[in-house]
Structures are given as structure tokens and as C-alpha cells.
Structure 1
Amino acid sequence: MECLIVIDYTNDFIDDDGRLTCGERGQKIESRITELTKHHIEKNDLVIFAVDVHEEEDPYHPETQLFPPHNIRGTKGRQLYGQLGSYFHEHLQRGDINYEWIDKTRYSAFTGTNLEIKLRERGINTLHLVGVCTDICILHTAVDAFNKGFSIVVHKDAVESFNGIGHQWALDHFKNTLGAMVIEGVAKD
């Protein structure tokens, strides 16, 4: 069984006015992420939205010293961006779609969440990863998935980062070090 994990595709990471935005680099994958989300929903795969969450002025979070405040709980910045956000609000919240929303407070979608439990109880063994940032949250999630024995598919045309060099390095790392399939243009069934 398979699962699509959409990581951090929020206004704060993608919108021009986002607090920690990839901007145009992240915006160019909007249609592909939405297309893959629809594809996995139509296949009745589990779709997980793993979304970064922070508390306003949290002095104890390790990212506080590294990045400006972003994805603050209850703000517009934490909402899904663009077409994906519209699709989510129009279709997914009806309750008839197989999805989960996971609040994550660290780079990896596994750290401090019940993600692994949700995957194991459904017999899921293959994870499709999309979203941002390729060399931060996608990377850390992929490393944890590898160490937990999951097969990994990274959709090259549905991940992006602030940093082009970091993005390319992570794509190579997924393939050469984690044994992930790095694909683009087709949905892996």
C-alpha cells in the first residue's frame, strides 16, 4: 500500500508574502502537487498533510535561532497554499476522503508525531514525498522513512527548496544514499 505525504506546502513557505518563502521556486510546483494529491485520492491511497507548526515567540524551539517566525499556529501562513489549499477546502474536508493532517514541530514528519503508527496500522510500505524544502523537511522525513524500512518515491517535479544547490544535492542523496525512486512527470502506481 502507498501513501502520499505533502510536506509544508503552506502560505508561509510558498506565497510571495510568506514569512519564510521559497517564492517562485515553490510556486512552480503548485499544479504538480495538486495533481498528485488528486491522483492518490482517486486511488484511495492515504494522503497525509504533514504541516510545520510553531508557537509565537517560542524561545525553546531549536529553529528559533535559525529562521524567522513562520507557520505560527492559527495564522493564514500555516494554511495550504493556492490550488492545493482550494482543493483541500472544497473536497478533502467533506470527510469522505482518506487523509490525515499531522502537525509537526521538527523537520521530519516522523519526529514527535504519530505518523509511523498511522502508516503501520494501514499496512503502508511505500511513501511518496512532495512539498518543501527538498534539502530540509523532505530530506529529514526521507532519512527517517529509510531508517524505518519504508520504500521512498520522491517526485522531482513536486519538491523544491530555497536553495538550488541544496535541492539538487538532496535529490542525488535520495537516489544514491537512500535508494529512493526519484521520478517526474508520471504518478508511480
Structure 2
Amino acid sequence: MTKTALIAVDMQNSFLHPDGENFYPVAPEVIEPVRALIRAAEEGSAIIVHVCDRHREGFADFEQPRLPVHCISGGFNAEFFEGFGPQGRAREILITKRRYSAFFATELALFLNEQGVKRVVICGVKTNVCVRATATDAFANGFAVNVVGPAVNTNRPKLGEASLEDIDRYIGKVVDLETAKDLLA
């Protein structure tokens, strides 16, 4: 059996709450599919990785020339959306990132390798930015990559479609919800 980790990317108020600073109208469509994946991972044997984007108030951050200041630690936008983030489940961890990828300058690859994980299932927001960067770095770190099509989205539909096409062609597989649940069993 291949050991698997579910990586839930940026399920935070910033993107999912209507008052979030980076909210976009289709973002909430990922909520139920991601919840279903977390339940499947919890019922199965997969590790659950909750990824959050958090930045420090008042300090320079390389993302700022490309993006407005966002997800400031301790603020509403940086907090997980209701029901997401660590909940005291067995086999779940938190990874805080300051760049698009959950792997860049974090301990994620080290941790997953120490646990014997060979395959990742990725979900969350945004397909063409953080999900794609995480998938790319997962591949670069030697993991079999599976991105769950119905559990990712973006406010740039054409870029989201192109990102999923590239992921499926060059990085891993884009899978449906039922296939992803089976991988998490």
C-alpha cells in the first residue's frame, strides 16, 4: 500500500469568507469537496496536511511587489475558514508558508519523507497559483502528484484550466473526487 498525504491548501478566511480580502465568488465551491476529502483521509490512513498562507505585519515580504499585503498572522484573513485547519485529529499537521508552494522553505518534504509518504493528493485554492506551485514542488521532491479537479478553483478560469492541463500532462494526475477518496483510504 502506498502511503498518502492529503494537502489542503489555503482553506482560510482570506479566500473563502465573503468578507475575506482575497474572496472570489466561486471560491466557496471547494468547501464541500475539500471537507469530503478530509473526512476520507481521517477515515482512511492518510496524513492530513493543513497549509496556511501567513505573513508578518510590518516586515518586508518578497510577495508584496506582486501581491498586496495579505494574510497577516493573527488577523481574520489568516485564520482558517470555519471547520478547516487542525481539529485534533490523528495524523494531521499544520504547515505555514510565506510563498505560493507549501514545500518552499517549509519542512513539508522532510516531514512527508520521514513518514514514508510516496503520494500526495492536493486540494484547495487557487489552482493557478498556490495549488500549481505546491504540485510542481511535490513532483520535484519525488512524490506522485494527484490534484483533485472538483476540489480546486480560481478566479481566473482560463488559467485554472491551463494549470490543470499542465499538471495532468507534466506533473501528475488530475483526478475526480471519488478517485481521490480511494487514494486516501
Question: Shared fold (TM-score greater than 0.5)?
Answer: yes
Q: Which residue identity does 1:14 align to in structure 2?
A: L
Task: Tell me what 1:170 maps to.
Answer: 163
Question: What displacement does 1:68 show?
Answer: 2.1
Counterpart Cα distance in 1 of 2:45 and 2:118: 15
Q: Which residue identity does 2:102 align to in structure 1?
A: A
Counterpart Cα distance in 1 of 2:119 and 2:167: 14
The Cα RMSD (Å) is 1.4
Cα deviation, 1:27-86, whole Å, max 9, x if unaligned, reads: 011111001011101113110011111112333x1211222222110112112223x33x
- Equivalent position SS for 2:177: coil
Task: Tell me what 1:7 maps to.
Answer: 9
- Equivalent position SS for 2:51: strand
- Equivalent position SS for 1:112: coil
Q: Does 1:182 align with 2:174?
A: yes
- Equivalent position SS for 1:63: coil
Residues 74-113 of structure 1 correspond to what in structure 2 (within 5 A)? 74-82=74-82, 84-85=83-84, 88=85, 92-93=87-88, 96-113=89-106
Q: Which residue identity does 2:166 align to in structure 1?
A: H
**Contiguous gaps of at least 5 residues in structure 2:** none
Q: Does 1:73 align with 2:73?
A: yes
Cα deviation, 1:85-125, whole Å, max 9, x if unaligned, reads: 3xx57xx22xx521000111111111111001110111000
Asked whether the 8 Å contact 2:8–2:49 carries over to 1, the reply is: yes
**Contiguous gaps of at least 5 residues in structure 1:** none
Q: Does 1:48 align with 2:42?
A: no
Structure 1 segments of 4 or more deviating over 2 A?
none
- Equivalent position SS for 1:50: strand
Task: Tell me what 1:25 maps to.
Answer: 26
Asked whether the 8 Å contact 2:151–2:177 carries over to 1, the reply is: no
Q: Which residue identity does 1:167 align to in structure 2?
A: G
Asked whether the 8 Å contact 2:121–2:145 carries over to 1, the reply is: yes
Q: Does 1:127 align with 2:152?
A: no
Question: What displacement does 1:20 show?
Answer: 1.6
Question: What displacement does 1:17 show?
Answer: 1.3
Q: Which residue identity does 1:166 align to in structure 2?
A: L
Counterpart Cα distance in 2 of 1:19 and 1:71: 8
Task: Tell me what 1:39 maps to.
Answer: 40
Counterpart Cα distance in 1 of 2:149 and 2:71: 24
Identity of paired residues, percent? 25
